[in-house]
């Protein structure tokens, strides 16, 4: 009976060669498409996981939130003026699942070596930054406790930044200028970091690092930091550390609704991005509404980074406008001198558009 059924099936396939071929082709394409979609989803999740792990070890970041309101009135209060150095010590003291808390002061400026000028993000931090971020020094040394205590104007360059400023030359011991808001400061290069590449937190290779005390006391003359980077005591205690930090900040800021601060952990980033990747991969009819919702979720997650980026762009524009005004004033002066003295060709007046 089985042999007869098999014989009839083969005869039917042979009699309808084109239909059989097209049926087989459809099955092959369908199975291949499913395998490809699953592979892409798995590969994307693995890449996201790798990038998040590259951010650091059990890392938790605490940012101040931007005040919000309605009808032209700001209802929430900014907590930026409460993010002090002492607050990081209190976090370590009252949050037992937190191993250490690193204050960070972020600024944007121009790094100048001879005739090379590069715009870069400069972070004021301390010796523990490399451990928490799984970041290693390639040449020289990172910032030490003595550098921070004695407010030494030393700087450590990301790998790409070092290449942009010095090409293939050894930058250790060289002196560069840092132009921040029109003021120029001299720094000695003491180290270059290993190449790390782009992560969700940005491209660390394009950043520079200086002692926190120098960033706060000499460059910005500020008593407050931009953010804190906390490290959980272990992977198992990471979620507990987040809860302890949230409870501490709520009580310290008297902010039950958490309107003045934002805490982002590696677990939250991984869970959110993985969920979004799985959602897109699982939805074969992913429409514009789904993509809009995914975009909104990512924007909510990385709101603090976007705010810092906007602030950096604003400072860059202000610096550019200042340089344009200076050039305009200089050209106008030269024009007026030439007009009154009658010496030389009149330079073309410079106008700021």
On whether both 38 and 177 belong to a single domain, the answer is no
Does 235 lie in the same domain as 139?
A: yes
pLDDT at 213 over 90: yes
User: Do 75 and 201 sit in the same domain of this protein?
Assistant: yes
Please say if the pLDDT value at position 296 is more than 70.
no
Residue 291 in any domain: the answer is: no
β-strand pairing of 154-157 with 183-193 = parallel
What is the C-alpha separation between 65 and 300, in angstroms, rounded? 12
Least confident of 34-48, 127-141, 327-341: 327-341
The arithmetic mean of pLDDT across residues 314-343, rounded, is 53
Q: Which pLDDT score, from 0 to 100, does residue 278 have? A: 63
pLDDT, residue 27, reads 79
Within 256-331, strands assigned E span 261-265
Range of the domain at 31: 2-53
Same domain, 36 and 64: no
- Whether 29 is covered by a domain: the verdict is yes
Q: What is the mean pLDDT of the chain?
A: 76
Closest by Cα among 218, 202, 199, 221 to 210: 218
Q: 30, 53, 76: which is the final residue of a domain?
A: 53
> What's the pTM?
0.66
Q: Is pLDDT at 290 greater than 70 in this prediction?
A: no
Q: How confident is the model over 242-266, as a mean pLDDT? A: 88
Most confident of 22-31, 181-190, 234-243: 181-190
Report how far residue 312's alpha carbon sits from residue 121's, in angstroms, rounded to the nearest whole number.
8
pLDDT digits (tens, 9 = 90+) for 53-102: 555 558 888 988 876 655 555 555 566 778 988 999 999 999 999 999 99
Question: Which of 229-238, 258-267, 297-306 is most confident?
Answer: 229-238
pLDDT of res. 297: 56
pLDDT in tens, 319-331: 444 555 555 555 5
For residue 64, tell me if it sits in a domain: yes
Residue 80 has a pLDDT of: 75
Location of structure tokens 């699942």: 97
Domain count across the chain: 2
């Amino acid at each position: 009976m089985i042999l007869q059924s098999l014989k009839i099936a083969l005869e039917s396939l042979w009699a309808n060669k084109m239909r059989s071929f097209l049926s087989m082709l459809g099955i092959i394409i369908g199975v291949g498409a499913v395998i490809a979609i699953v592979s892409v989803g798995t590969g994307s999740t693995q890449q996201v996981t790798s990038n998040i792990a590259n951010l650091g070890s059990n890392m938790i970041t605490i940012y101040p939130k931007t005040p919000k309101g309605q009808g032209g009135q700001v209802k929430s209060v900014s907590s930026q003026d409460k993010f002090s150095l002492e607050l990081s010590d209190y976090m370590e003291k009252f949050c037992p699942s937190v191993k250490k808390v690193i204050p960070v002061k972020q600024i944007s400026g121009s790094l100048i070596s001879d005739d090379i000028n590069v715009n870069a993000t400069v972070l004021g931090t301390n010796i523990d930054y490399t451990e928490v971020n799984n970041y290693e020094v390639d040449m020289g040394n990172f910032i030490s406790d003595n550098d921070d205590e004695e407010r030494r104007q030393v700087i450590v360059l990301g790998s790409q930044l070092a290449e942009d400023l010095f090409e293939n030359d050894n930058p250790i011991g060289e002196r560069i200028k840092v132009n921040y808001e029109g003021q120029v400061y001299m720094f000695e290069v003491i180290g270059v970091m290993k190449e790390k590449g782009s992560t969700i937190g940005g491209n660390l290779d394009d950043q520079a690092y200086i002692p926190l005390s120098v960033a706060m006391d000499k460059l910005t003359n500020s008593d407050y930091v931009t953010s804190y980077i906390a490290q959980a005591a272990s992977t198992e205690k990471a979620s507990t550390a987040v809860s302890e930090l949230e409870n501490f900040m709520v009580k310290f800021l008297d902010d039950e609704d958490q309107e003045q601060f934002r805490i982002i952990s590696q677990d939250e980033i991984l869970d959110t991005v993985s969920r979004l990747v799985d959602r897109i991969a699982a939805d074969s009819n992913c429409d514009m509404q789904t993509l809009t919702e995914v975009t909104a979720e990512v924007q909510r997650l990385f709101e603090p980074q976007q705010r810092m980026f906007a602030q950096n762009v604003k400072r860059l524009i202000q610096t550019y406008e200042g340089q344009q005004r200076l050039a305009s004033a200089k050209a106008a002066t030269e024009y007026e001198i030439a007009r009154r003295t009658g010496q030389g060709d009149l330079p073309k007046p410079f106008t700021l558009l």
